[in-house]
């Protein structure tokens, strides 16, 4: 898990809103602006990932499985998916806008090479997630598989 120093904590409490249809006050606008990235990511996950919808039988039963699906979704969101699907063919991805890549990635490129966690320096907790070492506290049994040729 992340150390306390690695986390920037912010609080954005709900503000008192006026009657329905009334314009939002400055506090409400500031709160909504601050939470926009998290709200957008949650909206995209709920729309595109079956395990994150409200009514599904495809939910992740273990924390590791959910985190693996989120990792794939993050690669898709930042490197494969365009910023806007409405604006045409030459629309950049978020990774292109951030200067991480020059072109939009295809799934062939994403899956073309297997990366090994022990050959690449990764921040915590990524190696533990990759080895599926996280436990799900609600489960009585968190059995681990000792695969001989997994890595």
Q: What is the pLDDT of residues 93-125, one digit of tens each?
A: 999 999 999 999 999 999 998 888 788 888 888
Tell me whether residue 42 is in a domain. Answer: yes
User: Is 44 inside any structural domain?
Assistant: yes
In a domain, 36, yes or no: yes
Short-list 65, 64, 40, 41, CA closest to 51: 65
- Give the pLDDT of residue 50: 65
Is 8 inside a domain boundary? no
What pLDDT does 1 receive?
41
Is 93 inside any structural domain?
A: no
- Angle among Cα 8, 13, 14 to the nearest 5 degrees reads 145
Q: Which residues contact 3 (CB under 8 A, 6 or more apart)?
A: none
- Torsion 92-93-99-104 (CA) sign: negative
Output DSSP code: residue 4: G
Looking at residue 2, its pLDDT comes to 43
- The separation between CA 105 and the C-alpha centre of its own chain, rounded to angstroms, equals 18
Domain that holds residue 35: 25-59
Q: Is residue 35 in some structural domain?
A: yes
Specify the number of domains making up the chain: 1
pLDDT of residue 30: 92
Q: Does residue 54 lie within any of the structural domains?
A: yes
Identify whether 89 is part of a domain: no
- Pinpoint the alpha helices (H) of the chain: 26-48, 63-75, 94-97, 107-110, 126-130
Does residue 51 sit in helix, strand or coil?
helix
CA dihedral 85, 95, 151, 51 (to 10 degrees): -40
Give the pLDDT confidence score for residue 54 in this predicted structure: 61
Residue ranges of the chain with per-residue pLDDT less than 50: 1-3
Q: For residue 135, what pLDDT is reported?
A: 79
């Amino acid at each position: 898990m992340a150390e306390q120093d690695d986390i920037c904590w912010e609080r954005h409490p709900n503000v008192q809103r006026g009657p329905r249809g009334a314009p939002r006050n400055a506090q409400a606008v500031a709160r909504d602006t601050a939470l926009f990235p998290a709200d957008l990511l949650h909206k995209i996950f709920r729309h595109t990932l079956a395990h994150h919808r409200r009514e599904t039988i495809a939910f992740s039963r273990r924390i590791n499985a959910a985190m693996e699906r989120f990792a794939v979704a993050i690669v898709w969101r930042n490197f494969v998916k365009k910023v806007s699907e409405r604006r045409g063919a030459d629309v950049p991805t978020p990774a292109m806008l951030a200067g991480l890549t020059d072109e939009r990635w295809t799934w062939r490129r994403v899956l073309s090479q297997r990366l090994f966690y022990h050959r690449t320096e990764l921040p915590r907790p990524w190696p533990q997630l990759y080895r599926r070492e996280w436990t799900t506290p609600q489960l009585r049994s968190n059995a681990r598989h000792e695969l001989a040729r997994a890595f």
